[in-house]
């Protein structure tokens, strides 16, 4: 094998290896007082995913992080430690650090515009008033990134959105989450193994 073919082969192998890595970022706020709140469903889903794959988070720069392999893919889970409104800083850092292409990024977040427990996965879109998504959009300089939105419903009075999203789950919601979160985990794994379009077709509206 000549030198050109050798380096061309290494370049292809390197590119393939990068494409097998997927960065899943769950949005939330750090601190015990936020642990069981609606706004932290991103953290909650990633905690469940890590537990299912018998891995633990470790605190590193700008977040808690863990990794696992599934069907030949590497899933890198990150829970930013920057607080919700500065999530983009952590996302951009870990994308650069792990050499993750934009199409292999997925942001897991809450959404008050979606019925409780419903899943909506999109390739692009506006921040929809969500400060975490707004900061990610600004730091990445694009709206074209995959986002996994978990509905928390909008059952709050006028002017009460902040208290609602930062409030704890009700007992009824907690019981329903036992059924809904496993579906969310399957959808995230599908994103890495089956692609974003197939995942949207299979899980949107579930």
| Mean pLDDT by groups of 10 residues along the chain of 206 residues | 48 51 96 94 98 98 97 97 94 97 96 94 86 94 95 89 94 96 97 97 90
Cα 9 from chain centre: 32
DSSP-assigned letters across all residues of 118-168: -EEEESS---TT-HHHHHHHHHHT-S-SEEEEEE------TT-HHHHHTSB
Q: Catalytic one among 11, 39, 113, 130?
A: 39
Structural domain boundaries, residue 77:
3-203
Residue 113: active-site member: no
CATH value at residue 174? 3.40.50.1470
**Whole-structure pTM value:** 0.88
Count how many domains the chain has: 1
Contact, 192 vs 77, CB < 8 A? no
């Amino acid at each position: 094998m000549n030198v050109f073919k050798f380096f061309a082969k290494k370049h292809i192998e390197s590119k393939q290896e990068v494409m097998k890595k997927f960065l899943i970022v769950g949005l939330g706020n750090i601190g015990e007082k936020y642990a069981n709140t609606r706004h932290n469903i991103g953290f909650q889903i990633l905690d469940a995913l890590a537990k299912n794959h018998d891995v633990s988070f470790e605190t590193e720069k700008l977040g808690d992080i863990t990794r696992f392999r599934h069907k030949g893919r590497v899933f890198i889970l990150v829970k930013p430690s920057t607080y919700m409104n500065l999530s983009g800083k952590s996302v951009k850092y870990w994308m650069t650090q792990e050499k993750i292409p934009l199409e292999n990024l997925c942001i897991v977040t809450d959404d008050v515009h979606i019925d409780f427990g419903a899943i909506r996965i999109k390739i692009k879109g506006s921040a929809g008033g969500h400060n975490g998504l707004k900061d990610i959009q600004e730091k990445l300089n694009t709206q074209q990134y995959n986002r996994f939105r978990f509905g928390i419903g909008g059952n709050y009075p006028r002017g009460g959105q902040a208290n609602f999203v930062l409030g704890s789950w009700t007992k009824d919601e907690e019981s329903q989450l036992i059924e809904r979160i496993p579906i969310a985990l399957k959808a995230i794994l599908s994103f890495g193994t089956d692609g974003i379009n197939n995942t949207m077709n299979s899980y949107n509206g579930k």
